[in-house]
Chains A and B, each alone.
Chain A
Amino acid sequence: MRAKGAGRTNIDRFLTLLRVVLLGLILVGVLAFIWQQIDPGNPFAKWTHEGEEARRLSGAQFKGLVVSGLSQGAMYGLIALGYSMVYGVLGFINFAHGEVFMVGAFTGFIMANKFDEAGWWDGAIFIPAVIITVVVCTLVATLTAVITERVAYRPLRGSPRLIPLITSIGVSFFIQNAVILLFGPGAKSYPRNPDWLQDQRTLGIGNFEIVTLKGTQILVILVAAISMFGLWWFVERTKTGKAMRAVAEDKEIASLMGINVNKTIVTTFAVGGAMAGIAGILWGLLFRSVIATTGFLPGIKAFTAAVVGGVGNLGGAMVGGISLGSAESLAPLTLLEPLGISGVTQLKDAVAFVLLILVLLIKPTGLFGERLSSDDRA
């Protein structure tokens, strides 16, 4: 970082310009959206849409976008926890974490399919079947995370920071293609969820409807909240969690205090993997389709979420995930469309990356600041 008081270079000017332009565009987009909601035929909308009127977003549509953003964001948040914890303890981005999530989703597919063949994926027996599936997915994802740590990352402890990052890219590639070879390249569809889970439900007080959403979306948000609470309890209230925080703070001093650093790191990977596994099965229940490349983009977006919330901060990861999910689902229709950009849903993924760049440009420590280990502070 440049010291304060040093001369401004052209790059600083360029970056300031970039910040102003990006924030300005967001502001104009929001204002244009509000104006278009009030009056779809306003001159600005006519200008951006080449003479035609803009489409107004109905209240139900808007609520739908918020809900889908929330449920997707909850999953990003669950994956982001793993990134955040590993980054806090080992100081490197575990690129392969997205694949752990994918392995969870794939295991869920296999289990669900087998249960469906046995007739268990419906009716009252669905609930125990889902619980078994979640447990197995979590176990398999945890195992994957622990094995990668043992095989690929442990021998690299203490090497330059980029070396484990490059290794994790290799691991990610390997897992992804191993799954393609073992289970075939096509997309796999989860069996149909029971109706009571799939149906649209309206939540409200009396006759006043607040929001309409799918049962699976409620499930996702609920499970994510429970897992998040469980993790918070584990990290903040148990002895193992204390050990994890100590190792994240300073490995050497932690080991002097009698903490088994290796074991703690494995625990970190295991817990992160478990969260990714839960996210995987939730993804499967929500989108009902999984493919070997499922893990790649959500993985990177989850990292973005971790950065948005502040890497190393667990609450931040969850908030970051939800902000990213909402931004991704809302921004195309509420920011880009009013600006006259066509085919906005295609730009969904780009929104996530622009958000990452924006956060790093404006507040590199993320929303909730960053807890850095001693190596980073130096």
Chain B
Amino acid sequence: MTAIASNPDVTPELEHVKKGAFDFDIKAATKSGHILGLALIFVCLAGMPVGLNDRMLITPVLSLGYLSLLWLPLLLGWLSGNEKVLEGMATTKRGGRDIVRGALIGLIGGLGLSLLIMLLDWFDLRDPLVNWSPQLAELLHFDRSYAFGWFAWPILCATLGALGAGLHVVGPKLRKALVSTLLTVLTFAVFETFIVDIFDFLDDLIYDKQGGLTVISAIIIAAVSFALSLFGGGRAISGARASYRAATGSAKTTQTATLIFVSALALIIIPMVTGKITQELLANIGIFLLLALGLNIVVGLAGILDLGYVAFFAVGGYTTAVLTSPNRGPAWPEWFPTLPWWGALIVTVIVCALVGLFIGAPVIRMRGDYLAIVTLGFGEIIRILFLSDWLGGYFNAAQGITNVPAADFGFAQVKGTDPRSVFYLVLVFAAISIYVSWRLERSRLGRSWMAIREDESVAEAMGINTVNMKLMAFVVGAVLASFSGAIFAAKVGSIFPTSFLILVSVIILVVVIVGGMGNILGVIVGAAVLIGVLGGPKQPGLLAEFSEYKLLIYGALLVVMMLQRPEGLVPNVRRSRELHQDEFLQDAWLKGEVDTDDDDPGVVGDGPEGALA
């Protein structure tokens, strides 16, 4: 090891090692094959293929139901070829070996489906397993014969596995082009409703009458995107990104300002040209973005895992409803005022901040994991109280508070039937929240939060009043959630206890984690991708067909992200360094940036923001 460290420039130049076509770890490949088979059987029995079969992607070749099976061998084939590249170790040459391995994995996985076909024929297990149906058997037979399905699946899966593994064999440029082609076609097919909602004329042009792309248009889109990413297009984007990264000082500021201005303009214009579906979607994304930004301060910056964040959303929604609705419950005294929405908003913010203080104070000294459970307990207590008959005179228990009036601004009314107005209102508050988060992150307060997140004892030793700072995080988070609650009340027009399940907390947590804890851009990306595509706890996303499988996917995503990429899609530089401290130090050590005698990570120096992104 010391030899490598003293000669760092030798390492990348080692030669590829050639290996024979069958010279791979057969045991590991068999294991992946079994995992693939189990995954395929699980997807079948979870009902995805049958449930999604009506949604055509490319008419009449491919439906979303078949896609829910077909992506698995492709992915596992690709993953099988991933090899850990170690500094200073020779890499193996890509070739037939990868393809054979991918095909083997696919074959074993496909045999799993063949087994399922046989079992479906022999036994009737419909009693416990609801999706054990003749429809599933027919789908697995490709509407042909039993034997056809039996042989087709192993062959199909082996081919896909080989193709997935084959992506390692082709050069990086071709690989990029192939992947982006596949993604483009899928995007056009999957987001049909959304695309048609914006560009009306495309409906007859590229989509079939029964939905889904026509075969010809799919081929054309594939060809165009392939050509574009191979000769140009892609390069323009990556070039722009590189120049943005390289820019420094005032040039960077100008570029950032332009970028923000353009995206803000786009966000203002888009709802004007789109239909109601898109506007509704954008409004939902915005409401959850507000929540996620608040949770990002609590979890991402201060490192406090608050699982009862929905409590603040609930208090915000209920306070606004109580202050604006005529149906607020009979027990309120006569003199209790009915305010316009913006007046109620001020009270809501104050109430939420107080609730934040009240919930925060007892939990703030607890250890991180106890705190998580206790906040979850508070979240439940608050929902139970709103639901209870005891306070039913104030909050109408399970009937909820209805008739929450629209938010009236004189020049505009914000109500649920006009999602565009809701979106603009959300946009204003999102802009405020983003600005606040952004300024806070660079303030004394934000730096204290990050210090607490990294090491509470050290932060305290540096003179930070950890208790007050953590309490501040709770209060700021609560205030941001109160915005969301107030808008939610005006948008939906009625507030029920069932809108504030713990589920909401978990989904917001997934948004923050998938996007990237502690990174504002990450949270925006997370909200747009997850709430936009999969949908919120009750709100449908672009993939409305997925509503049944949404929560399963959220759970799986949380696990996969934690295992593979705990720093999120758009990581915060400092945060990802905390999470990968060992690897980071090792890299720096190999490059000779760290003096190996004393183990001081401080020498690495703070690179420019985005260096690791």
Interface of B is mostly: helix
Question: Which chain B residue has the least Cβ–Cβ distance from A148?
Answer: B559
Task: Chain B residues near A62: list those with CB within 8 A.
Answer: none
Task: Chain A residues near B305: list those with CB within 8 A.
Answer: 162, 165-166
Distance between Cα atoms of A2 and B466 in the complex (Å): 11
Contact of A167 among B384, B390, B562 (CB under 8 A): B562
> Once the chains bind, are B559 and A152 in contact (CB under 8 Å)?
yes
Interface membership of B429, Cβ < 8 A:
no
Interface membership of A222, Cβ < 8 A:
no
Interface membership of A23, Cβ < 8 A:
no
> Once the chains bind, are B562 and A166 in contact (CB under 8 Å)?
yes
> Once the chains bind, are A93 and B558 in contact (CB under 8 Å)?
no
> Once the chains bind, are B467 and A183 in contact (CB under 8 Å)?
no
Contact of A110 among B128, B392, B471, B556 (CB under 8 A): B128
Distance between Cα atoms of A353 and B389 in the complex (Å): 19
Distance between Cα atoms of A113 and B579 in the complex (Å): 48
Task: Chain A residues near B392: list those with CB within 8 A.
Answer: 343
Smallest CB–CB gap between A348 and chain B, Å? 9
Distance between Cα atoms of A360 and B366 in the complex (Å): 8
Mark A142-186 against chain B: 1 for CB-CB distance below 8 A, else 0: 000000000110011001111111110111111111100111100
> Once the chains bind, are B362 and A361 in contact (CB under 8 Å)?
yes
> Once the chains bind, are A159 and B384 in contact (CB under 8 Å)?
no
> Once the chains bind, are A160 and B579 in contact (CB under 8 Å)?
yes
> Once the chains bind, are A183 and B548 in contact (CB under 8 Å)?
no
Q: Please judge, given known A-B contacts A9-B467, A152-B559, whether A347 and B390 are in contact too, CB under 8 Å.
A: yes
> Once the chains bind, are A2 and B390 in contact (CB under 8 Å)?
no
> Once the chains bind, are A178 and B384 in contact (CB under 8 Å)?
no
> Once the chains bind, are B131 and A364 in contact (CB under 8 Å)?
no
Smallest CB–CB gap between B293 and chain A, Å? 19
Interface membership of A253, Cβ < 8 A:
no
> Once the chains bind, are A357 and B374 in contact (CB under 8 Å)?
yes
> Once the chains bind, are A360 and B563 in contact (CB under 8 Å)?
no
Distance between Cα atoms of A209 and B50 in the complex (Å): 59
Smallest CB–CB gap between B249 and chain A, Å? 36
> Once the chains bind, are B369 and A346 in contact (CB under 8 Å)?
no
> Once the chains bind, are B388 and A347 in contact (CB under 8 Å)?
yes
Distance between Cα atoms of A344 and B548 in the complex (Å): 34
Task: Chain A residues near B157: list those with CB within 8 A.
Answer: none
Interface membership of A18, Cβ < 8 A:
yes
Near A by CB (< 8 A), chain B positions 328-375 give 361-362, 364-366, 368-370, 372-374
Task: Chain B residues near A15: list those with CB within 8 A.
Answer: 361-362
> Once the chains bind, are A178 and B552 in contact (CB under 8 Å)?
yes
Q: Please judge, given known A-B contacts A110-B128, A171-B559, whether A300 and B385 are in contact too, CB under 8 Å.
A: no
Near A by CB (< 8 A), chain B positions 498-520 give 502, 506, 509-510, 513
Distance between Cα atoms of A120 and B388 in the complex (Å): 42
Contact of A174 among B45, B303, B502, B556 (CB under 8 A): B556
Residue of A14, A165, A296, A304 with most chain B CB atoms under a 10 A cut-off: A165
Contact of B506 among A161, A169, A304, A350 (CB under 8 A): A169
> Once the chains bind, are B509 and A166 in contact (CB under 8 Å)?
yes
> Once the chains bind, are A1 and B378 in contact (CB under 8 Å)?
no
Interface of A is mostly: helix
* Interface residue tally for chain A (C-beta within 8 Å): 60
Interface membership of B432, Cβ < 8 A:
no
Interface membership of A283, Cβ < 8 A:
no
Distance between Cα atoms of A167 and B559 in the complex (Å): 5
Interface membership of B532, Cβ < 8 A:
no
Smallest CB–CB gap between A363 and chain B, Å? 13
> Once the chains bind, are B369 and A342 in contact (CB under 8 Å)?
no
Distance between Cα atoms of A356 and B372 in the complex (Å): 12
Mark B100-139 against chain A: 1 for CB-CB distance below 8 A, else 0: 0000000000000000000000000001111100000000
Smallest CB–CB gap between A176 and chain B, Å? 8
Contact of B566 among A11, A161, A163, A181 (CB under 8 A): A163
Residue of A169, A344, A364 with most chain B CB atoms under a 10 A cut-off: A169
> Once the chains bind, are A2 and B385 in contact (CB under 8 Å)?
no
Smallest CB–CB gap between A365 and chain B, Å? 11
Distance between Cα atoms of A296 and B551 in the complex (Å): 15
> Once the chains bind, are A155 and B380 in contact (CB under 8 Å)?
no
Interface membership of B211, Cβ < 8 A:
no
Q: Please judge, given known A-B contacts A173-B558, A177-B551, whether A167 and B368 are in contact too, CB under 8 Å.
A: no
> Once the chains bind, are B549 and A349 in contact (CB under 8 Å)?
no
> Once the chains bind, are A342 and B559 in contact (CB under 8 Å)?
no
> Once the chains bind, are B552 and A174 in contact (CB under 8 Å)?
yes
> Once the chains bind, are B377 and A341 in contact (CB under 8 Å)?
no
> Once the chains bind, are A182 and B365 in contact (CB under 8 Å)?
no
> Once the chains bind, are A183 and B388 in contact (CB under 8 Å)?
no
> Once the chains bind, are B127 and A113 in contact (CB under 8 Å)?
yes
Contact of A165 among B303, B369, B548, B578 (CB under 8 A): B369
Distance between Cα atoms of A356 and B559 in the complex (Å): 27
Distance between Cα atoms of A341 and B128 in the complex (Å): 43
Q: Please judge, given known A-B contacts A184-B130, A357-B362, whether A343 and B388 are in contact too, CB under 8 Å.
A: yes
Between-chain CB contacts (< 8 Å), 30 pairs: A15-B362, A92-B369, A113-B128, A114-B127, A159-B566, A160-B579, A162-B303, A165-B305, A165-B368, A171-B555, A172-B555, A173-B551, A173-B552, A174-B555, A174-B559, A177-B552, A178-B552, A181-B46, A181-B131, A181-B549, A182-B130, A296-B502, A307-B370, A307-B373, A342-B389, A347-B390, A350-B381, A353-B374, A353-B378, A360-B362
Chain B residues proximal to chain A, CB less than 8 Å? 42, 45-47, 127-131, 303, 305, 307, 361-362, 364-366, 368-370, 372-374, 376-378, 380-381, 384-385, 387-390, 392, 467, 471, 502, 506, 509-510, 513, 548-549, 551-552, 554-559, 562-563, 566, 578-579
What 18 additional pairs, Cβ within 8 angstroms, besides A2-B365, A170-B510, A173-B506? A18-B361, A92-B369, A152-B559, A161-B368, A163-B579, A166-B305, A167-B558, A173-B552, A181-B548, A182-B45, A182-B130, A300-B376, A307-B370, A350-B380, A354-B381, A357-B374, A357-B377, A360-B362
Chain A residues proximal to chain B, CB less than 8 Å? 1-2, 9, 11, 14-15, 18, 92-93, 110, 113-114, 151-152, 155-156, 159-167, 169-178, 181-184, 296, 300, 303-304, 307, 341-344, 346-347, 349-350, 352-354, 356-357, 360-361, 364
For the complex of A and B, list the 3 residue pairs with the smallest distance between their C-beta atoms, beginning with the closest.
Answer: A170-B558, A173-B555, A343-B389
